[in-house]
Amino acid sequence: MEIGGRKLVGLVLFGLLVLLSVAVGAASGLLLVYSTNLPQVEELERYRPSSVTELYDGQGRVIGTFALQRRVIATYDDYPEVLRNALVSIEDKDFYRHSGINIWRIVGAAYRDIESGGKVQGASTLTMQLARNLFLSPDRSFYRKVQEALLAIQIERRFTKPQIFTLYANQIFLGHGTYGYEAASEFYFSKPAKQLKLEQAALLAGLPKAPQYYSPVNHPERALKRRNLVLNAMLEDGKITAAQAAEAKSKPILLALQKDPNSLAPHFVEEIRRYLEAKYGSDQVHAGGLRVYTSLDMDLQKSARQALLDGLAAYERRHGWRGKLLNVIAQGQKLDKYADPDWDEDPELNGYMHALIAQVSSGAAEVRFGQRTATLSQADVAWTKLKLKLPDILHAGDVVYIKVLSLDAGGKSRVSLEQDSGAEGALVAIDNATGEIKAMVGGRDFNLSKFNRATQALRQVGSSFKPFVYTAVIDQGGSPEDTILDAPVTFQTASGPYSPHNYDDKFEGAITLRRALAQSRNIPALKLADRIGIKTVIDYAHRFGITSNIPAYLPVALGSAEITPLEQTSAFSVFPNDGVRIAPRYITKVTDYEGRTLEEDFSDIKDVISSRTARIMTSMLREVVLHGTAIAAAKMPYPLAGKTGTTNDFTDAWFVGFSPSLTCGVWIGYDEKKSLGENESGGHAALPVWMQFMNAALAGKDPGEFQPAPAQGNSAVVRKIDTPDLAPGDGETH
């Protein structure tokens, strides 16, 4: 019996060994199958997630971003302990103890899924979630779950817990296009993750489960419950006290959604995007995490935008109400369903935007813009110059243009009725010493038109071209005290006689070149251009950096040439720079994801004219401000100089001027080159915009002084430049 018992035990043990071998073989086979084609975890050491490219102004402030996934890469120490504790408590309590998988959670989840007849789900550790997000598909299958576990074990063997946490925290999707907790903190609370409070950290920690479902923007009540659940989990784990949990739960969800940084200088940002994509490629720009250091100054940009929009509003009011408003009811839309693209951004104080007339009574009109409302009274439409009652001007469903005057608590606001007839404008400001573009506004509304009028619009520059004529004369030995006859004249040209006139249709007789430029007299400018040759004048314009094609015919001296505002503004910066041209630049430096410098832009500097000529021309352009067509700027407490420009039929209005440190150019007009209206000259339409901007730009700063013009001396000979009988110069062609 004893021998037979031993045989039986041996047979049983043998059978168990066979079964164990089969089980091990089967398990090994399954593991081999499931591990086939698994990604190599070693790739994580070289892993570079798609991250946002950021653009900075000269003070390091973000002014724009490019991204496929809005992600800001952060380190382990960038994530505060309160956030780490919140995330671990709600997602993976044993994160710092397990080796990648939690067997008991997996068994429990599998049992529940089998019992309910569902697919395997849940029970994922942070490491398993990381493996899935990086390497695997999101489908919930047993096959994927095994692969997820195998990858998690490999990750844990190769990386430390802080490294794994950091990879996860930078990778996870957290709603509204944000990836990673640093980007989410900036989006939801407008601050870095390091500054998160307990209730804010708990809110973000609850998002990975279902970012859209628990969105605090779209579903604040769900987000609140989820946040409190995270706080309870932290309390259970001993990460916070009962008092801390209670205090955090008592606080409402207060978001401070990040404003789109691209909205501050959209035309400028678009210029940079095109340049970067042409040089580095779209993938690198939108996913490579570049750091682009630009020339822009955020404060000056805000002042520039405000000045241009205020100037356009003043122009609109001068010309009265034109009506022709879009009405959404007439288009078959419902009032409560209408949402204007302007409402995607929070309204700004003194900002301009479109709004909807919700209802109109005999004495008031209710205006809606986003979540806010305002009321317009009969007095608010008095500027329209229409002797009509408010209901005759505005109707329910009209889309109107407004200026936000106040943003009161509770959603009520105060606004003024404005008008957008299609008049446009551009403003460029350049630092004289560096050539850096400090402000650029390419139009009224980037959402309505991406066309950058500062860099792309070729417009006739009018009399703002005349300084090139006078520069050529001065540079060739002329003096501002030389005299010329402002009188009727006829030039014989290949196409027949040309008899120009002055702006005021009057003639002043013998006047100095200084006065002729200050008063923007046309006849003297044409006589001078004819004497030295229009080709010589054009050559000087090109020396100043004008690259636009300029036809060689005499009326070019009066500004018939088409030049962009950026070119014209950059050209004028030569005068305060003592005759040196510094090419305008947008970018100072670009670095890659690792901080390596990809490019560093240094100023392109060229001598254009002598310092003598530059200083004399500066003094003559100073006269334009003190006693000439820009005399309205004489009251400003800074040394300023510049030139107005007005074209035929008032289609273009210009003022380009400078202080010792800053040059600014302003253009006002319609895209289709129609008249701005009678008397809308450069001094009337463009100069006020320039003055508002320069007052803001120079306030509180040392304006400096212009270099003094060289003395003429007592023995200087004053020449008379009067050549009515001379043949046309060698440059006069058609």
Is 377 part of the annotated catalytic residue set? no
Residue type, 485: L
Give one DSSP letter per residue of 684-708, joined into a string: IIIHHHHHHHHHHHHTTS----PPP
Candidate from 21-30, 434-443, 489-498 with smallest mean pLDDT: 21-30
383-418: pLDDT as tens digits: 998 888 899 999 999 999 999 999 988 778 999 999
What Cα–Cα distance (Å) separates residue 726 from each residue in 59, 527, 530, 729?
57, 10, 9, 8
How is residue 345 annotated by DSSP? S
Helix (H, G, I), strand (E, B) or coil at 439: strand
Q: In this predicted model, what pLDDT tens digit does every residue of 145-197 receive, in sequence order?
A: 677 788 888 888 889 999 999 999 999 999 998 999 999 999 999 999 999 99
List the chain domain ranges: 79-249, 320-418, 424-711
Across the range 379-386, mean pLDDT stands at: 89
Residues 6+ apart with CB under 8 A from 247: none
Candidates 124, 295, 413, 463; catalytic one: 463
Q: Residue 728's pLDDT band (boundaries 50, 70, 90)?
A: very low
More confident of the two residues 116 and 129: 129
Give the integer Cα–Cα distance in Å for 541 and 545: 7
Distance between CA atoms of 355 and 339, rounded to whole angstroms? 9
- C-alpha span between 672 and 636 (Å, rounded): 34
Q: Given a cut of 90, is residue 293 above it in pLDDT?
A: yes
Among residues 431, 438, 329, the alpha carbon closest in space to that of 658 is found at 431
pLDDT at 39 over 90: no
Task: Convert the pLDDT of each residue in 441-454 to its tens digit.
Answer: 999 999 899 999 99
The rounded distance, in Å, linking the Cα atoms of 102 and 123 is 7
**Residue ranges with strand state E in 83-219:** 178-179
pLDDT, tens digit, 9 for 90 and up, residues 222-248: 999 999 999 999 999 999 999 999 999
3-class DSSP state of 665: strand
What residues contact residue 329 under an 8 Å CB cut-off, 6+ apart?
Answer: 335, 396, 397
- 513 three-class SS: helix
Q: Residue for token digits 């929009």?
A: 309
What's the rounded Cα separation, in Å, for the pair 317 and 508? 35
% of the chain exceeding 70 in pLDDT: 86
Q: How far, in Å, are 31, 32, 47, 526, 586 from residue 36 at the CA level?
A: 8, 6, 21, 83, 51
Phi, psi of 353 (to 5 degrees): -160, 170
Q: Which position among 91, 424, 567, 732 bears the catalytic label?
A: 91
Q: Is 679 left (phi over 0), alpha (psi -120 to 50) or beta?
A: left
Tally of CA atoms within 13 A in the half-sphere of 173 that contains its CB:
16
Give how far Cα 216 sits from Cα of 24, 72, 176, 188, 231, Å.
Answer: 49, 20, 10, 9, 16
Report which secondary-structure segment, H or E, holds 115: helix 103-116
**301-338 confidence digits (pLDDT tens):** 999 999 999 999 999 999 999 888 999 999 999 998 99
Single pTM value for the model: 0.84
Angle between helices 198-205 and 181-189 (to 10 degrees): 120
The CA dihedral of 507, 511, 513, 516, to the nearest 10 degrees, is: -30
Residue 669 tokens, joined? 């007009």
Q: Which CATH number fits domain 320-418: 3.40.50.620, 3.40.50.11720, 3.40.50.720, 2.40.50.140?
A: 2.40.50.140
* CATH superfamily ID and name for 424-711: DD-peptidase/beta-lactamase superfamily (3.40.710.10)
Query: At 99, is the pLDDT very low, low, confident or very high (cuts 50, 70, 90)?
Result: confident
The answer to whether residue 221 is catalytic is: no
Domain 79-249 bears CATH identifier 1.10.3810.10: yes
